[in-house]
Structure 1
Amino acid sequence: MTRPIDDRSARLFIALAAFFCVNAVLAEFIGVKIFALEDTLGIRPLEWNLFGQTGSLSFTAGTLLWPIVFIMTDTINEYFGRRGVRFISWLAAALIVYGFAFAFIAIHLAPAPWWTGVASDQGVPDYQAAFAAVFGQGLWTIWGSLVAFMLGQLIDVNIYHRIRRRTGDRQAWLRATGSTAVSQLIDSFVVLYIAFVLGPQHWEMSLFLAIGTLNYLYKMLAAIALIPLLYLARAAIRRYLGDARATELQAQAAEG
């Protein structure tokens, strides 16, 4: 009898789920940093003007990882269907809460007296304050991220299968980018609205629309640029599982 851990499809699901969850949790934690795109690329500021807002293009560092999460979502959707995506989405959300809970606990541990000044030579006079500022994201940001993440994932899986019913096994790029286009339109604006409009910062609507639009456009451009990676992942999975098993999983996923 073949043990479950020896089944290649089980191993594949474990690997995809683990990589998905790691990227989702990391995106939440590094998302506290805002970076300037033009300065990072070493070019002059583009001085964009959108909804009355002008300046350099700024994004959260978490946007670097979300396109990978999209690829993982579509790959799991392709071979393990709605149940697979929903399972890993709820698992990732639980792990995000778990991570923030322990970050909160760590912040409130009494720091060693010598540790607070250990990085003063690096321009960080109070390591405890820096630690709390980086890992102690506001509750509005945390809950905004979680609500947007789950909404985006649940919408993505449904749009993906609606397109799949029309295209069959053809045009994988269309169902991947189509589902991302709808889900990330919701995700990009929901997280900002909860975290920064309803939250204590009370962003103006023009700023909310400008930043939300920029983040959405970035995610869509990244999703399109990563289409070759989607096909490479499908080819690698077929080689790993074999054509017969891969086709069987796709059929089962399509049936729900």
Structure 2
Amino acid sequence: MAAVRPLNDRATRLFIALAAFFCVNAVLAEFIGVKIFALEDTLGIAPLEWNLFGRSGSLNFTVGTLLWPFVFVLTDTVNEFFGRRGVRYVSWLAVALIIYGFLFAFLAIAAAPAGWWVEAAREQGVPDYQAAFAAIFGQGMWSIGGSIVAFLAGQLIDVSVFHRIRAATGERWVWLRATGSTAVSQLVDSFVVIYVAFVLGPQHWPTDLFLAVSSVNYIYKMLAALAMIPLLYLMRHGIRRYLGDERERQLRLDAASD
């Protein structure tokens, strides 16, 4: 009997590729998310002076939000072809990798720096390389905990809503189950992460600031999710060509019944 070689199976290779891109986007978003950027300045336009819940000013976002639209598309693609178990597996894997990454970030911070390295970037405007390293990679435990809780809750809600819409609409309206599940899951994610990190955390944000920032982040994520709909269909088309019509159809049917 010929030996079974799982990596010869195209569906297996597809799942590995989707899981890898999903996890690297999720982990990278957590690490670069420490930077807050001004949208108007980045685009070179005048501040929009938004006003929400009594708060006004320019639109500020964590850089990590730039990657989340790709996480949405990957989540929906895994959902479409590998079902609930596929999404739960890659979500828990991503959480484990995020924790693993931060653990080694803290160990790296704790390692005694070489004396010459501390001042190595002084000419570039960084007088203390160790302090800069610790500030960037040493995010507070409240921020890390909030991000992980919000991410996992959002993913589990996403998979549930996705399949409820799929059960109601069948194989029609791929965009509806993708966008609808994102709308519900990111409503939770956008508010939970900021609440845990900045309201329960040491900064103790007031309610109006919490609601304003959370709302702006949610609106951005939804606009980004809508803009990514063409990519969702493009990926589905690419997967069909890669797997073949029959295998692609079988995967979707298996995922729907999962």
Q: Normalized against structure 1, the TM-score is what? A: 0.99
Equivalent in the alignment of 2:87: 85
Cα deviation for residue 87 of structure 1 reads 0.2
Kindly indicate whether residue 153 of structure 2 is the aligned counterpart of residue 151 of structure 1.
yes
Determine helix, strand or coil for the equivalent of 1:93. Answer: helix
Equivalent in the alignment of 1:190: 192
- Whole-Å separation in 1 of the counterparts to 2:230 and 2:172: 15
The 4+ residue runs of structure 1 with deviation greater than 6 A are none
Cα deviation for residue 55 of structure 1 reads 0.7
Equivalent in the alignment of 1:240: 242
Cα deviation for residue 79 of structure 1 reads 0.2
- Whole-Å separation in 2 of the counterparts to 1:95 and 1:188: 21
Equivalent in the alignment of 1:167: 169
Aligned residues: 256
Equivalent in the alignment of 1:11: 13
- Whole-Å separation in 1 of the counterparts to 2:140 and 2:100: 15
Q: Which runs of 5+ in 2 are unaligned?
A: none
Cα deviation for residue 204 of structure 1 reads 0.5
Equivalent in the alignment of 1:218: 220
Determine helix, strand or coil for the equivalent of 1:32. Answer: coil
Cα deviation for residue 46 of structure 1 reads 0.6
Determine helix, strand or coil for the equivalent of 1:35. Answer: strand
**What whole-Å deviation, never above 9, does each CA across 1:208-253 have from its counterpart, x for those lacking one?**
0000000000000000000000000000000000000000000000
Residue correspondence of structure 1 range 41-52 to structure 2 within 5 A: 41-52=43-54
AA at the equivalent of 2:8: D
Equivalent in the alignment of 1:181: 183
Equivalent in the alignment of 2:76: 74
- Whole-Å separation in 2 of the counterparts to 1:18 and 1:11: 11
Cα deviation for residue 86 of structure 1 reads 0.1
- Whole-Å separation in 2 of the counterparts to 1:116 and 1:33: 22
- Whole-Å separation in 1 of the counterparts to 2:90 and 2:251: 17
**What whole-Å deviation, never above 9, does each CA across 1:42-85 have from its counterpart, x for those lacking one?**
00001111101111100000000000000000000000000000
AA at the equivalent of 2:136: V
Cα deviation for residue 175 of structure 1 reads 0.1
- Whole-Å separation in 2 of the counterparts to 1:224 and 1:209: 22
- Whole-Å separation in 1 of the counterparts to 2:210 and 2:123: 38
Equivalent in the alignment of 1:108: 110
- Whole-Å separation in 2 of the counterparts to 1:49 and 1:173: 31
| Greater CA drift, 20-29 or 2-11 | 2-11
Between the aligned residues of both structures, percent identity stands at: 73
Q: Which runs of 5+ in 1 are unaligned?
A: none
Determine helix, strand or coil for the equivalent of 2:217. Answer: helix
Q: Normalized against structure 2, the TM-score is what? A: 0.99
AA at the equivalent of 1:213: S
Determine helix, strand or coil for the equivalent of 1:207. Answer: helix
**What whole-Å deviation, never above 9, does each CA across 1:121-147 have from its counterpart, x for those lacking one?**
111000000000000000000000000
**What whole-Å deviation, never above 9, does each CA across 1:160-216 have from its counterpart, x for those lacking one?**
000000111110000000000000000000000000000000000000000000000
Equivalent in the alignment of 2:40: 38
AA at the equivalent of 2:245: D
1:142 aligned residue (116, 119, 144):
144
Determine helix, strand or coil for the equivalent of 2:115. Answer: coil
